[in-house]
Structures are given as C-alpha cells and as structure tokens.
Structure 1
C-alpha cells in the first residue's frame, strides 16, 4: 500500500539509529494477493533490507505469535525496527480467544538481557588495568540497555576517560571529570586522541566508517580493542577484537563494574591531563568564533541558546554544517536528551524527532536545531505540533545553501553545483501560517530577544535565523580526504 511505502525511509533511519520500531501495515485481502490486488506491492520484500525482520502474517490465528516475534526481534540484541504486514481480511476475522493466551505479552515487551562471560570480562579488565592510555567509547547499544549509574560506576572505578555518541550521549555527564564529551571524532579533538590510546573499550560502539572500520587511522598501530556488543556478527565485523564480550550492555556494564572493584586502579595523570587540555582547547577554539557578527556564526547561536536551556532539555540536531557546530558545543548533562541524524546521515528527521520527544516528555523543554534544507522535508509537521499543542522550540539556521554539500563541492571541485537555496526565505511566515509562533532573526542583536519570546510562548515556535555560510569541521575533514564521506 502507499501507506507502507511512505515510512520506508523512516525504517532505514531507524535501522541505523537502532530504534526498536514495530511497523505494522495492512494490505489487500489475502485471497487477492499475487494477482494485482488494489495497491499491491511486495511489502515484506521492501521492508526486509531496512529492518531486523519483516513478515506477512499467514493467518488470523497467528497474529499474536507474529506480534510477539516482532517485539522480541526489535528489542533483543542490537535493537532495530521490524515490519509486519497484516492483510485486511485478517483484521476483521474472528478467532478463538485461547489463541491469544498462548502468546500473552509476558516477557517480550521487556526481554531478558543476555549476560557476559565473566572470564571475558576479567580478561578485558586486565587489559585495561595494564594500559597506559586507555579510553572508553560508548555507542548506540550502550544507550539502549546500559544503566547510566552502572556506566558511571565502571568509569569511576577504573578511572578511565570516556566519550559517547548517539543514544549513549552523556551516559555520564559532560561535566564529570572523566568525561571527554562527544565521541564523534570530527567534532571533538579530544576524541581524536584515540590515535594515542593503547587499549580501547568499545561499549556498544560499532567499528564502522566513523572509526575507519577499526583501522589506522584513527586507531594506533598495535592498539588492543575490547569489544562489548550484543551482536555476534558485529563483534568481529570490521576487525578481530582482542577481547570479544558478547552481551547486552546493561548486564555487561554492571558485571565489569563489579569485577573492576576487585582490582587496584591507578590515576593516569599525564594521559588525563593531555585529554582534558585538548578538550578545553578545542572548546575554547569553537567559542572564539561566537562573535556577534552579521550574518551570525552558528557558534553565536549555540552560545546564546545555552543561556535558555534547562539542564534536562532535550535537543535534536538535524542538518549539516549549521548543526555540526551546535552539537559539538552544547554540553549534555543528562542521558537520553540528545537526538541526531544517526550514522545514516538522513536529514529531515528533526521536526518529527522533536515532536516525538515532546510527546514523550511533556514537562521537558524540547528544542530542535535544523538547517533550512532539512526543514524542507518535514516542516509541515508544524501543523501537527499546533494541533496537539506540543511546544517544541525550533532554531532554523538559514544560510541559503545545502551547507555541507555546498562546502564539499566548493572545496573539492572549486564550485558548488545545484546546492544553492533561495536567500531570505521566510520560514517564519510558514510557521505563522500553520498557527505556530514565527520570528525572523537577521542580526546578532535580535537573537536574544527573539529567544526570550519563543521560550515564553506557550506552543510551538520557530526562529528563522540568518547564519553565515561557515564551513564545519566535518566538511573540512571530508575535503581533506578528497572524498564525499561525512565520517
């Protein structure tokens, strides 16, 4: 059906984000499938490449069985989306109630977590304990199941510096002495010091393109990798692990913290000072760009916005160059308050993310930083925010270009092609037309008063902020490699 075709990009993004979405779609009546039924397509075949599993329910009696299968698959191991097709005639069929009792939802909604082999845990800790320059990197699977208190206990017991990204962002707060902030290498020079680490503990972080598939660079020659992951396929996918720990991250972190207390750990002062100094210098370099110029630098938007953010604010970043500056510089003190476009890099998701966050966290301040190009994909969902009174605050960075692509084209080929947008587009008037608050911010002195008005407004608000066409560290890194990869 067209209804199934529409969310396929969302399923692809959920797949990379490791989001346990259960997608259910109807179809034509089962007797007519395969002979040109109304709106007929191969729904399972379309969904299979972008989900952990996709099935068509074979009979009405087996709907409970397949619903249970869908939830277990979505929530176990490395989490991710699944798809079910339920033909139209099954939805009104009568079945015996006993069929439902057989598959009553007892455990599949919160599946039992798989624990780690304690000998592997001990082996990994011995590597860490003997290291001179250890580092912990946390990724999405840690964010899915790890208890922030247990992660903090592990870090504080071992005295090992920690970086995090995606849904694991701020499992320990950025202000913690062992936190070195954001784990995405192009946006944190301290994280780039992974090249000097001799032992790295990967907590649910994939060795994908963002980490050079485990090669050199960014890792040092001879580095020891301890990989903790719920997926046996992922553990050795890019390179062999020196210690492979197959486990959900929740129990694994607790087990590692428990076992770590049985060892003596030293403070690696030189290594910690090196990381802290590098991180502080990096942040200072970013904030040096936050001048009150016109058009504004994205860092000025970041610095000014932070005066209005509550500690537990949820922030979504959707876009390229403009958003890269904000997500690199806005500290995170609470876990599960950070959304990004994922390793898939699919822009246009921010408005929907912010709306979902506000619906899930009605008492929490929810903010979306979005580029002008990204806003074009789903900006009309402001209408949904208005109808449901979801007071999301949207800071649209209007630089009149498809930022990162424009910069990469210019840097590699000398000129951009088809990546310019119209100047002065009045996205604020679009917001007003949909019933939200909209304001046009054209100069630095207008930003703070506009933020005051937007945050005081009891409903969704959009600030259309003119920012400069400033190249981000991510685009600079891509140009340096003379390729279009964003990793």
Structure 2
C-alpha cells in the first residue's frame, strides 16, 4: 500500500511539477534558519583554540579531503556534526550508521569500500571518521586493513569519552582520590589513548595530532600513502560539544 502511494505521489509530482512558491513564509523562515546555523557553525570552526573543537577539526578536514573520496562516518557528536561540516561532494559517496545510530559498523564499511575501490581501480580514497568510542567497537579491524594493505585513512576524533570526557589533569586528580571505577564517570575513556600506536603495531601509519598544522601534515602524508592504511589520532577538547541546540532533548545523552 505504501509503495502504491509513493508511486502515485511520484507520478503526480513528475506530471505537475513542484509548485510550492519559493517566496512563501515557510521557505523564508527555513532559509533564515539555515543561514543562522551556518553562521554559528562558521564562528565555531574559525576559533583558533587548542585543543581544537569539533567544528575547527571538520572545517580543516573538508579543505584537504579529495572531493571524490568515500566518507565513512561513525559516532555520536562526530557523525552528527560531520554530516553538516564534512559533506560528501558526490552521490553514493557516504556511509554512516543512518537513523538507527548503530555503533561498530564504520571500519567494516571502510574495509568493504576500500576493497571495492581496489577492484574497480577508480583511485578514490576511503576516509573513515570515527569518534573514539565508536572506534572502540571494532577498532581491531585495522589488522584486516593492514593484512590486505587497504589504503584507508582513519581519523579518530578523540575527546576522551562517550559524548565527552575529562582532560589528563582532571583524570590524574581523580586517580589520587581513590578507585577510578567509583570516581570516574562511566562515559569517560582513558585520556589521550594512543589509537595511532594500535595502527602502527600492525604495520600501518599512525599519527598523533594536537594542532591544525599537525592535522594538515598528517592528512597530506596519509592521502599520499598507497601501501596500506593510516590512522590519525586527533586529540580535541574533551568539553567540545555541538552548537547550541534549539531542541536539546533531541540530542541529549541519556548515558
């Protein structure tokens, strides 16, 4: 029944065309909201702060990635912010968790995409952007990538936690207070975990990045490396968050 309705709707639109005027109040308010969102995101992206926030990181990544690359995106804030700040330029060039928010699919997607691209010989690069928590679900798939010498660039957006973490100094202070299993928030991960060393352990390239300059250098080196995978471990501000949400209940963590 739904398929029949969809066919009828498509047939009618094809025949009649889309007649909703562009100067209506709804279109005007929508365009104003889009412009306001873009302005807010741009202001966050241009902040010259260290450690970087999500928006600054994605802003510089978008400038350096090839326009025909296959983007794999996985995580909470990482995937959501990346959908607006790191758009794909071509159709069918993006793989992410979709509306279900499934975690752990990113590296499998990237492996499959890289294997397909090798078989087709198109030369398109696969760039897999992972939150640090998302990477933890299937991070050992870097061994598969190294074993088959798949030219995947993995970028781990590392904020020391799920949604947010704590900085190394705070972690050290909590450790002095006693058992971390009872003191540290359950969504906190080990500060500044060396995911880049995991990749190196299997023979791939690993980079630890803290600054914009280091990001540029690591991305350029990774994109020119065709003998296997690379992992860029980007340490961002643990308190970094998405821009102010008009309806925060839609994105609020319940962990």
Judge conservation of contact 2:164–2:188 (CA < 8 Å) in 1.
Answer: no
**In the alignment, what sits opposite 2:186?**
418
Judge conservation of contact 1:441–1:464 (CA < 8 Å) in 2.
Answer: yes
Does residue 471 of the first structure (1) align with residue 225 of the second (2)? no
Deviations 1:285-329 (A, max 9, x none): 112112231111111111111112232322111111233222222
Deviations 1:109-137 (A, max 9, x none): xxxxxxx9xxxxxxxxxxxxxxxxxxxxx
Task: Return 5+ residue gaps in structure 1 as ranges.
Answer: 1-115, 117-228, 231-243, 407-414
Judge conservation of contact 2:165–2:188 (CA < 8 Å) in 1.
Answer: no
Distance 1:339 1:474 in 2: 26
**In the alignment, what sits opposite 2:254?**
484
Does residue 277 of the first structure (1) align with residue 32 of the second (2)? yes
Higher relative contact order (CA 8 A, sep 6+): 2
1:361 aligned to which of 97, 104, 117: 117
CA deviation after TM superposition for structure 1 residue 341, in Å: 1.5
Q: 1:396 to 1:477 in 2, by over 3 A?
A: farther
**In the alignment, what sits opposite 1:390?**
150
Distance 2:132 2:205 in 1: 17
**In the alignment, what sits opposite 1:141?**
none
**In the alignment, what sits opposite 2:19?**
265
Q: 1:478 to 1:428 in 2, by over 3 A?
A: same
Distance 1:404 1:308 in 2: 26
Does residue 337 of the first structure (1) align with residue 58 of the second (2)? no
Judge conservation of contact 1:478–1:484 (CA < 8 Å) in 2.
Answer: no
CA deviation after TM superposition for structure 1 residue 385, in Å: 1.2
**Aligned partner of residue 101 in structure 2, secondary structure:** coil
Q: 1:356 to 1:481 in 2, by over 3 A?
A: closer
CA deviation after TM superposition for structure 1 residue 266, in Å: 5.8
Distance 2:210 2:189 in 1: 17
Task: Return 5+ residue gaps in structure 2 as ranges.
Answer: 167-182
Q: 1:392 to 1:474 in 2, by over 3 A?
A: farther
Judge conservation of contact 2:62–2:85 (CA < 8 Å) in 1.
Answer: no
Matches within 5 A, 1:85-234: 229-230=2-3
CA deviation after TM superposition for structure 1 residue 455, in Å: 1.0
**Aligned partner of residue 207 in structure 2, secondary structure:** strand
**In the alignment, what sits opposite 2:202?**
434
Structure number with larger C-alpha Rg: 1
Distance 2:249 2:231 in 1: 32
Q: 1:476 to 1:380 in 2, by over 3 A?
A: farther
Q: Which structure carries more helix by proportion? A: 2
Distance 2:81 2:208 in 1: 21
RMSD: 3.0
Deviations 1:140-168 (A, max 9, x none): xxxxxxxxxxxxxxxxxxxxxxxxxxxxx
TM-score (norm 2): 0.78
Judge conservation of contact 1:321–1:475 (CA < 8 Å) in 2.
Answer: no
**In the alignment, what sits opposite 1:349?**
105
Deviations 1:406-447 (A, max 9, x none): 9xxxxxxxx973111111211111101111111000223311
Judge conservation of contact 1:283–1:329 (CA < 8 Å) in 2.
Answer: no
Q: 1:347 to 1:384 in 2, by over 3 A?
A: same
TM-score (norm 1): 0.43
**In the alignment, what sits opposite 2:174?**
none
CA deviation after TM superposition for structure 1 residue 465, in Å: 0.3
CA deviation after TM superposition for structure 1 residue 483, in Å: 7.5
Matches within 5 A, 1:40-51: none
**Aligned partner of residue 100 in structure 2, secondary structure:** coil
